[in-house]
């Protein structure tokens, strides 16, 4: 199989502190980079109210930290984090599908894959602060391959944009 190049489309309205919309061209993945102070503006993006995964980025005791989560409605879940979380995150990166094929079971499976990938990066660039390990939701075998592909696209986008939570550090020789 030929390994083709990929194109990431990054859109923003206004300046660099606005919400950024991300998509991998010719794929079903779409995402947003959103400062904490602008979460309420995500309501203007109906796609952010679909099943998806999200990563909250911030610091704890001067150390970079991240929380990985999932929800059937990502926007509503982020509002809950604003109201109830002790973690003073600064930024959110969230991903949903462009179609309606991503379900609650899919995003639970995806959250688990993201969590365990981030935890496996030694030494950790960013501390994962989830209080408990997410459990995978059983999904059909055919869907498992789709979720693995979605996860690979997510890792590619995150790494390309400088979010190295899922990328091993290069060997130093």
- The pLDDT-based confidence of 15 (bands split at 50, 70, 90) is confident
The two structure tokens encoding residue 40: 């309420």
Is residue 52 within 8 Å of 34, Cβ to Cβ? Answer: no
Per-residue pLDDT for 173 more than 70?
no
Q: How many other CB atoms sit within 10 Å of the CB of residue 166? A: 22
73 falls in which pLDDT band (50, 70, 90)?
Answer: very high
Question: What is the rounded average pLDDT for all residues in the chain?
Answer: 91
Q: Determine how many CB atoms are found less than 10 A away from the CB of residue 52.
A: 28
Structure tokens at 58: 């911030």
Q: Is 80 helix (H, G, I), strand (E, B) or coil?
A: helix
Q: Evaluate whether 165 touches 56 at the Cβ level (below 8 Å).
A: no
Both tokens assigned to 153: 């696209």
For 138, counting Cβ atoms within 10 Å of its Cβ (0-12 exposed, 13-18 middle, 19+ buried), the class is: exposed
């Amino acid at each position: 199989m030929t390994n083709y190049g990929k194109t990431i489309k990054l859109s923003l309205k206004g300046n660099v502190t606005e919400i950024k919309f991300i998509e991998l061209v010719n794929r079903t993945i779409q995402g947003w980079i959103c400062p904490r102070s602008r979460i309420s503006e995500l309501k203007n993006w109906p796609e952010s109210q679909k099943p998806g995964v999200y990563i909250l980025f911030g610091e704890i005791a001067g150390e970079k930290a991240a929380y990985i989560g999932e929800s059937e409605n990502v926007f509503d879940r982020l509002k809950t984090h604003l109201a109830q979380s002790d973690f003073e995150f600064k930024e959110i990166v969230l991903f949903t599908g462009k179609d309606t094929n991503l379900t609650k079971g899919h995003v639970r499976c995806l959250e688990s894959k993201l969590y365990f990938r981030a935890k496996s990066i030694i030494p950790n660039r960013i501390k994962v602060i989830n209080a408990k390990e997410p459990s995978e939701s059983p999904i059909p075998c055919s869907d498992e391959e789709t979720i693995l592909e979605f996860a690979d696209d997510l890792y590619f986008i995150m790494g390309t944009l400088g979010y190295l939570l899922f990328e091993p550090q290069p060997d130093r020789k």
